[in-house]
């Protein structure tokens, strides 16, 4: 369906092209079935990249979930466990310090190596009576030495944070790096899924116009290079932020950042410990 829509859009007028941009940025296609699935993004990674094992259609009644390396839910292979009620993570014996479980149940693995290649197991606990649901995901990591295409493609979209350590009431900047050479538009969302009620802002390069989400309207500044400034942050602003871009040839990219908001004085306390 997507291919046929893109093909038919070649003869669109400018306003139809704008509607296509808005549609792609604010209404990203979601799974049409309720079946729980896991998508590896990307399925084949280069050493040093981040990998997201994205869980589609996580049931609302989930009590807890755990991620494991390999194909069996063994204690020795447990990466981490996430408890929904307390929104807390408990690391397991297989945790390397690079893994984070998101509220959606998805798993982020930062700076992957070739040793990270293989199967991963997700175990979901719905209640104390039913048997846990188990499903698997797989991705591969290869060395950049054998990835000549890596040198022929643009750098990967990334998000930087200033200041690096964020405290309550700070004004912070989420910096966008490596936007497409010919961008058509970009959108920022809170969380992983591009849901309309979680949209922070979107920008169209066709009309040089920006639309702000209502929840952030009074304390948000957006740059036409993709970056945004959030004023007077609070604990409620903590969480995952996603930047999605689309180029004029309709190729899309995305990047995520996990924002932690600390109590006032945390930055000075950390610097003091570092200098001792």
Residue 48 is part of a domain; what is its CATH number?
2.60.40.10
Are 43 and 120 within one domain?
A: yes
Q: 106 pLDDT exceeds 80?
A: yes
User: Which of 47-56, 133-142, 191-200 has the lowest average pLDDT?
Assistant: 191-200
Q: Answer yes or no: do 178 and 251 share one domain.
A: yes
Residue 242, in any domain of the structure: yes
Counted domains in the chain? 2
Answer whether residue 74 shows pLDDT above 90. Answer: yes
SS3 150: helix
Is-contact 161 257, C-beta < 8 A?
A: yes
The pLDDT, as a whole number, for residue 33 is 43
Q: Which pLDDT score, from 0 to 100, does residue 38 have?
A: 87
- 235 within some domain: yes
**Domain identity same for 176 and 139:** no
Q: Which residue has the higher pLDDT, 150 or 129?
A: 129
CA atoms within 13 A on the CB side of 140: 4
pLDDT band at 116 (very low <50, low <70, confident <90, very high): very high
Least reliable range by pLDDT among 8-12, 70-74, 150-154, 158-162: 8-12
Answer with the one of 117, 146, 175 that is the final residue of a domain: 146
Report the pLDDT value the prediction gives residue 273, as an integer from 0 to 100.
Answer: 54
Which of the listed ranges 65-69, 137-141, 194-198, 226-230 does the model predict with the highest average pLDDT? 65-69
Is 274 a member of any domain? no
**Please, what is the average pLDDT of the chain?**
78
What residues make up the domain containing 159? 2-29+154-262
Which positions ≥6 away from 257 have C-beta within 8 Å? 159, 161, 174, 240, 241, 243
- Which of 145, 147, 172 is closest to 160 using CA atoms? 172
Residues 6+ apart with CB under 8 A from 142: 44, 45, 46, 47, 114
The verdict on 116 and 68 lying in the same domain is yes
Specify if 170 maps to a domain: yes
> What's the mean pLDDT in 35-54?
84
Q: List the one residue out of 132, 140, 136 whose CA is nearest residue 121.
A: 136
Is residue 141 a contact partner of residue 114, using CB atoms and an 8 Å limit? yes
**Entry pTM:** 0.51
């Amino acid at each position: 369906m997507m291919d046929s829509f893109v093909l038919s859009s070649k003869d669109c007028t400018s306003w139809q092209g704008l509607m296509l941009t808005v549609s792609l940025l604010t209404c990203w296609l979601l799974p049409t079935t309720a079946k729980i699935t896991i998508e590896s993004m990307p399925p084949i990674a280069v050493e040093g990249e981040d990998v997201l094992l994205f869980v589609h259609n996580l049931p609302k009644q989930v009590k807890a979930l755990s991620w494991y390396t390999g194909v069996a839910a063994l204690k020795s292979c447990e990466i981490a466990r996430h408890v929904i009620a307390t929104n807390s993570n408990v690391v397991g014996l297989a945790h390397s310090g690079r893994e984070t479980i998101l509220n959606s149940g998805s798993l982020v693995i930062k700076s992957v190596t070739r040793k990270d290649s293989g199967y991963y197991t997700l175990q979901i606990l719905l209640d104390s009576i039913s048997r846990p649901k188990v499903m698997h995901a797989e991705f591969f990591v290869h060395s950049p030495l054998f990835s000549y295409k890596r040198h022929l493609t643009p750098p990967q979209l990334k998000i930087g944070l200033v200041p690096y350590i964020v405290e309550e009431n700070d004004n912070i900047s989420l910096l966008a790096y490596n936007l497409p050479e010919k961008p058509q538009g970009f959108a920022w969302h809170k969380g992983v899924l591009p849901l309309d009620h979680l949209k922070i802002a979107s920008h169209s390069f066709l009309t040089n116009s920006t639309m702000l989400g209502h929840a952030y309207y009074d304390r948000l500044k957006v740059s036409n290079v993709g970056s945004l400034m959030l004023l007077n942050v609070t604990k409620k602003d903590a969480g995952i932020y996603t930047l999605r871009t689309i180029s004029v040839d309709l190729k899309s990219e995305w990047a995520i950042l996990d924002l932690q908001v600390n109590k006032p004085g945390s930055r000075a306390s950390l610097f003091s410990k570092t200098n001792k």
